[in-house]
Structures are given as structure tokens and as C-alpha cells.
Chains A and B, each alone.
Chain A
């Protein structure tokens, strides 16, 4: 019985992906293609004679009726063709492979830092509610939430990069490492381990520390808040009172009953936070000159390259949808109540 209902749930959930993707893709199209103005002219920098604009328009299919363009746009995405940039003729697949890998490296370690720091502080703050520990933990949570990643990053650069001179403040690795490292996955951290190149790994880790900590700490605020509320709520539940009434030692009530159940929603939160994390990643990459996909987005925005912006937005949309499905699947496996 459980097997079928789980499968039914998963299929229903997957079916819901289609309208969500379609809506996001349509919105991107509406915003970037249907909006007034000439994207080609914008990309070429203002007033250009029609003799220059027309051929490019034709090549990109921008002179066709809007519905035809929409159909071709969707069909291309289905075929996995996200387009080519106008300004430097780079296929989006290349941007995803190279810059996407850098973003993945940054966001993965940032999320790790956020979860560890956020959940620990949240658990302790919730357990010792209304004590100075709680106040300190919450103020820290509010403070990191209130700090924009680019400001924290700037201060980190100033202190650890310029004044103390401990860590590099820009790029993903030193030029030497970038030249020597074999690219297998484009994720430098993985590539360095792949080759067993420990010198390069050390260099990569050094470059990673400041950006990942910046993005991680900023994201940790949400985890602190949610974990704390969950612990408070769980500590109030009937089964906790029942455990106490049975005479179980408080420490045990807290650790094996309350904390465990308070942590289940954290999976969901990780998924929900991805949207925040991706936004923060754009700013962190910009601050640390990290060659990720957000950094590219900002560059292409400055160049007014509509197809590049559109392609990157499609990538973000697909990632967001994929993660939301993944989170729901995980939850369905962990918590049987969701399936019914």
C-alpha cells in the first residue's frame, strides 16, 4: 500500500513540474522578449543603422511573429539548446559547464557552513530560551540576516585580505593553479582531488574560504531562526510532556526527542533557501570576482545581452524547480504523513 501511494505522490508531484516550468519560462520570455525596445540595438550599444541590426535580427529569429518566436524558444529549451550570447557568441551550455561549476562549488560550501552554524546556534538558542545564550544567538541571527553579503564580503576582504594578508580576496584560484590544473569537472575543488594535486587543492581552499564563509554566514540567519522556533515548538508538544511525565531525564528528552524532530523541517528549509542562496551567490560572486554564473549574469546585464540574460534565467529557473522537486521527494521519504 505504502509503495503505491508513494509512487502516486511522486508522479503527481512530477506532473506539477510541467506547469511550473512553463510559467517561469513564459515569464522570462515575456519580460525579455515581449517588453518594448530593441534587444539587438541595446546589445550593440544604442543607435545602430538598420543595415547592421536586420541581419542579426534575422539570424536570431527576432523578426518572426511573436508566437512563432515563443514556440521556437520553448522547443529549443526542450532540445537542451538555451541559446547563444549576442555579444560574444558563446553557447549557454559552455557558460553552464564553466561558470555553473564555479557557482556550484561556492554554493555547496556556503550551504554547508550555513547549516552547521545555523542549526547549532538555533538548537542551543531554542533549548535555552530567553536566557542570555538565546538572546546572543538571536541577535547574531538578526545581525547576519541584516548584513548584505557584499558588505560582509567587503569587510572580510579588508580584514583578512588587505590588513592581515592571510587570504586571497578575488577569483577562484591563483593564475598558476588555473593554468596547471587539469579540468575534469570544472569544479576546481574536485579537479584538484581528482589529480591528487594537493598544492592546487590548498590554493583552491584558500580562495574558497572568504566567499563561502560570507555567503554561508548570511544564509545561516534563516537556519537559526527556523531551528530555534522548531525546537521551542517541539519542546511544547504532547509527546515531550509525556516523556517528561514518564520521568525521563531532561537532557535525554531534549536530545533524543526534541532535537531530532525539530530537525526534520530543516530539509525543507534547505530547499526553500536555495532561492535566497542563489540570490546571495550573485552578490557574493560579484564582490569576490568569483567566476560563477551570477558574475557572468552581471557582466551580460551590463552588456545588455538579452539572449545571455535569458539563457541564464532559464538555467536558474530549471535549477530552482529541480531542487523543489528533490526536496519534496526527500520529505516524502522521510515523513510518511506528507504522502496521504
Chain B
């Protein structure tokens, strides 16, 4: 029932929003499938540079043996692109889950109870929000990979990305709670003697949480870009741990001067495609859920220009 109500705008969406949404879903699902089936469909391992004792050729052109060519380390580019899907989705899923778990409750409590704690949290979050989030992620990844026992890896990358996004969720949720808090039905619940916990859980949470899916999807797209950027700068996944597209592109920069295009093109295209897919889903959701942009299949109202109108006199 609740699900039916929540997905109603998506079913009622029309035209381009619908097409964009479903093509985004298709692309994203294809990548998810690719990640799950990686061991089956990948011709080689992500780190494999030889087979049956024969080392693969270095920087080989795309051919039937290596469909997308090989890198300087003789690793198959196709295998790295396929296994890269696993890394990207895994890190982004962990990072998103962590930023939701931290950001949403903080926003709920801060917005609902207000007071001095709210003021302080808003100041801190706004300050972080104004800062380039790539830089936040870089510094955190840098500190974690230098000092801690965690070292470079999936968790480090995920923590770095989380830190960059918590302020976003906090702001969105908190600001929405502020407006919902004053609604008559919330007031009514309070007047009836409901405890804050009940009010937040039953009346505020579900109203606010509707805003989260479009943001989270667009955020997932952004997080892929952020992870790739970290990888490009050498602060993502260590090459031995898994394939990461941003890291692969960074390796390809030196190849490009020699006119070698396949080592950079394919991982780069993979980033673009996955981010496009997620963005289309997010934009589609946004357009259907956001009332300002919503156009339903029914009750469409268009103000047609008056034919033969005259130019306005100055």
C-alpha cells in the first residue's frame, strides 16, 4: 500500500521523464548484472597478465584475443572494465548507506528539536557543504591511507566519500523537517499527547524520506565520479585489490601521448555510462516526484499563446 502510493508518480509520469527514467534503470541494471556476473563473463582476471605460462602482449591493439586491448602491464582492458563495475558499485553502496545512516537521523533530530544543537550542527554542516567535496574526500583518504591500519582500500574510499556527502543529507532532511514540523497534522499529533519519538517516526519521517530517493540516486552518480577522481589521484582502491576505472584512466594519460587510446577510452566510457544511467534515474525520479516539474498523464494544463497577439507597447 505504502509502496503503491510512493511509486504512483512514477507510474503516472509521462513523456520524456518516463523514457529517461526507464533508460536510466536499464543502463544501471545492466551494470549491476555485469558486476554480479563478472567472474562468468570476464575473459580474464582483473590482475591477470598471463595465461598458460604465456605473458599477454603489452599495449596490444584491440583484437580477437583481447577485445579491448591490453595495458602496459599486459592486463586485459575488458577484464578491468568488467571487474571495475564490482568495485564502483560496492564502494558507492557502502558510502551511500553510511551517509544515509549518519545524515538522515542527524537531520531529523536537529530539525525536529531545534535549539542550540541545531544551530551548531547547521553551522558545521554548512561550512563543510560550501567546501569542495572532492578536497574533503582527498584529505580524508590521504589521512586514512597514511596513518591508520585501514590503509588504502574499499573502506577508506567509502569513508572519504561518506564524509563528503553527509552534509548534503543533513541539510535536505533538516530543512524539510523544519517545514513539516509546523504542519497542522503534526501539531495535532503533538496536541494529542504523542511523544516526540512517535511523532518523528509516524508523521515526520515518512514525509521527509520521500525526498531522499531522487537525491540518493543522483548522489550515487556523483559518488561514482568522486571515487573515480580519488582513483585518478591515487587515493582509491589499490591496484592489487580490485579494478578501478579512475585509476585505469590515470595510467592511460601517459599512453595517450603515444596515441594509445584503448587503455583510457574504455574505462572512461564505463564511468560516463554508469553515471549517465544513475543520473537519468535520479532526474526521472526528481521530475516525477518534484511537484514543480511534475507533468502527469492526466490533468495536463497548458497555457497556449493567444494567436495574433500584438507587441507590447513600451
Chain A residues packing against B (C-beta within 8 Å)? 19-20, 23-24, 27-28, 31-32, 35-37, 42, 130, 134-135, 138, 142-143, 145-148, 150-151, 154-155, 157-158, 161-163, 169, 229, 232-233, 241, 243-250, 252-253, 275-276, 278-280, 282-283, 286-287, 297-298, 301-302, 304, 309, 313, 316-317, 320-321, 324
Stretch at the interface among B33-41, B138-146, B175-183, B203-211: B138-146
Contacts A/B (CB < 8 Å), 19 sampled: A27-B127, A27-B128, A35-B143, A36-B147, A138-B20, A142-B279, A143-B272, A145-B279, A147-B268, A154-B249, A154-B253, A162-B257, A232-B293, A247-B306, A279-B133, A279-B134, A282-B233, A283-B232, A286-B233
Counting chain B residues whose Cβ lies within 8 A of the other chain, the interface size class is: 35 or more
Q: Which residue of B lies closest to A135 (CB)?
A: B16
* Complex Cα–Cα for A248 and B232 (A): 54
Chain B residues packing against A (C-beta within 8 Å)? 15-16, 20, 123-124, 126-128, 130-135, 138-140, 142-143, 146-148, 221, 225, 228-229, 232-235, 246, 249-250, 252-253, 256-259, 261, 264-265, 268, 271-273, 275-276, 279-280, 283, 292-293, 303, 305-306, 309-312
Return chain A residues, CB-CB under 8 Å to B272.
143, 146-148, 151
Q: Which residue of B lies closest to A20 (CB)?
A: B127
CB of B252, distance to nearest CB on chain A (Å): 6
Majority-rule SS of B interface residues: helix
Given A145-B275, A247-B309, output 9 extra A-B contacts at Cβ < 8 Å: A20-B130, A23-B127, A142-B283, A148-B232, A148-B246, A151-B272, A244-B306, A244-B309, A301-B142
* Complex Cα–Cα for A28 and B309 (A): 60
Residue pair B225, A155 in contact (C-beta under 8 Å) = no
Return chain A residues, CB-CB under 8 Å to B264.
151, 154-155, 158
Q: Which residue of A lies closest to B228 (CB)?
A: A148
Residue pair B271, A243 in contact (C-beta under 8 Å) = no
Return chain B residues, CB-CB under 8 Å to A35.
143, 147
Interface centre among A35, A42, A280 (most CB of B within 10 A): A35
Q: Which 3 A-B pairs have the closest CB atoms?
A: A37-B147, A279-B134, A151-B268
Return chain B residues, CB-CB under 8 Å to A253.
305
Return chain A residues, CB-CB under 8 Å to B310.
247-249
Q: Which residue in A20, A151, A249, A304 is a CB contact (below 8 Å) of B123?
A: A20
Interface centre among A138, A275, A298 (most CB of B within 10 A): A275
Residue pair B133, A275 in contact (C-beta under 8 Å) = yes
Return chain B residues, CB-CB under 8 Å to A243.
312
* Complex Cα–Cα for A32 and B143 (A): 7
